[in-house]
Chains A and B, each alone.
Chain A
Amino acid sequence: MNNMKTQKIIFKRDEGWTLVEAVLTIVVMAIMMLGLTIVLMAFREHLDRSWSVRVMDQYGNDVIEQLSHQLRNAVDVEVRRGRGNTHKIDIKFLDPYVHDKYNYEYWEVDTRAGKVMINNRPVDIFYPPSSPGRGESFEIVQFTMTPYGQLTPNRRERTDSYRRNENFLNATYDVRLKLRYNRNAINPGERNWSYEREYSNRVYMRNMNLVVKKGILD
């Protein structure tokens, strides 16, 4: 055993790297960095899109919920044509505090700014975002209020609407808001991308068919 030699295999030399080792290391590192950059860029793109879609979604739900709430309390409504595929909605409802006093709300779309206005004031001052990214834009494709059975993709509802009576049809409306988020290509090799989503609610304006409403308006 005394003659036994001990030999260590070590994985590092003290003399530094050869040219081949250095070049190989740089190549491997470059490939890794390239892969990482592509993954991170794709992830950032996904994150940006997702964020903007959430902002749009929040706004769409907000507008539709506010409008539905007002319509449920309304005693009368008038729908007029607006710019593009939009309607102007004039809502008349009783003042909750003052007897025999009416309040009015005029809903319309500012198509140029891409926002819904109530009495010439935006529903949400933070939409669309004031500083969107390059190539980003938000637009309102549709803002309509139509009687039950019209403009619906559901065939059963359309058929059903022919069987409903006048009182029901005069008081039941569908409100629709369709928003679109555009992300245009900026760099070579990119593609335009857009996401469209429709927000809708059905409202039965119960005050339209109440005896009390007739008394108020007469």
Chain B
Amino acid sequence: MTMKVITWRQDEGSVDLMQLFVGLLIISIASIGTFQSLFYGYDQLDFNMRYRSAVSIARSYVEYWQGRIHTDIDFKDRPVFSGNQGDPEVFLLDERDPTTTYDDVYCEVAYSPIIAVDHETTEGTDFYKFSVIVLWSEPNDYNGAPHQIVFSAAMVPAGL
């Protein structure tokens, strides 16, 4: 009777099949980890670029409403003072690939109701305050809540 004993390890030195498999497995896992971390880093940099764009959009919107309150607003115009959170404006936030529009990222911009602040120690309205809200969703981020930037601002009418 002949019995075959299969040994995956060899005794003569050098690399045997098991060592080769294990080595390849380790290299593969390390490579996947390295590339994943690199792409995660790039995603974060892209997010940072969009975040700065969103800040710029929010700041510009704040400037617009500060200008309006300062010089050009009808204080009896109730719809203007109630904000547009129910019907926000849409702005282009990031044009990722200039050759196509499919991957563009858009954001929603809205302002809160404009509130007249009246301190008891002074007569009449002291200033008006409001907030600007920018909302957007990151690409490939389908489950998470949208990112949000809120700028609070105040302004006095020029006549005050």
Contact = CB atoms under 8 A, between A and B. Distances in A.
Contact of B10 (A10, A195, A202): A10
A11 B10 contact: yes
Interface string A185-218: 0000000000111011111101001110000000
Contacts, number: 90
Given A171-B71, A172-B67, A201-B60, A50 B3 contact: no
Interface stretch (B12-20, B112-120, B139-147): B12-20
B82 interface: no
B143 to A, nearest CB: 27
Contact of A165 (B63, B66, B71): B71
B70 A206 contact: yes
A167 B10 contact: no
B63 A172 contact: yes
A9 interface: yes
Contacts of B2: 4-5, 7
Interface in B57-101: 59-61, 63-64, 66-68, 70-72, 89, 91, 95, 98
A125 B160 CA distance: 44
A156 B17 CA distance: 69
Nearest to A175: B60
B60 A202 contact: yes
A202 B63 contact: yes
B51 to A, nearest CB: 11
A137 interface: no
B129 to A, nearest CB: 16
Given A4-B3, A54-B45, A164 B56 contact: no
Contact of A167 (B64, B91, B98, B158): B158
B1 interface: yes
Q: Is the interface of A mostly helix, strand, loop or mixed?
A: mixed
B14 A12 contact: yes
Contacts of A202: 59-61, 63-64
Contacts of B29: none
Contacts of A171: 67, 71
Interface in B17-65: 17, 42, 45, 49, 52, 56, 59-61, 63-64
Interface size class of B (residues with CB under 8 A): 20 to 34
Given A4-B2, A165-B71, A202-B64, A11 B17 contact: yes
Interface string A161-181: 000110110011010000000
A167 B72 contact: yes
Interface in A1-51: 3-12, 14, 50
A211 B158 CA distance: 8
Given A168-B68, A171-B71, A199 B3 contact: no
Contacts of A9: 4, 6-7
Give the one of B42, B59, B71 with max A CB within 10 A. Answer: B71
Given A5-B3, A202-B64, 10 more contacts: A4-B1, A4-B3, A7-B4, A9-B6, A10-B7, A50-B42, A156-B89, A167-B72, A172-B64, A209-B70
State the 9 A-B residue pairs at the shortest beta-carbon distance, nearest first: A204-B67, A202-B60, A168-B72, A167-B71, A204-B63, A202-B63, A165-B72, A168-B71, A172-B67
10 contacts: A5-B1, A7-B3, A57-B52, A61-B56, A164-B72, A202-B61, A202-B63, A204-B63, A204-B70, A210-B158
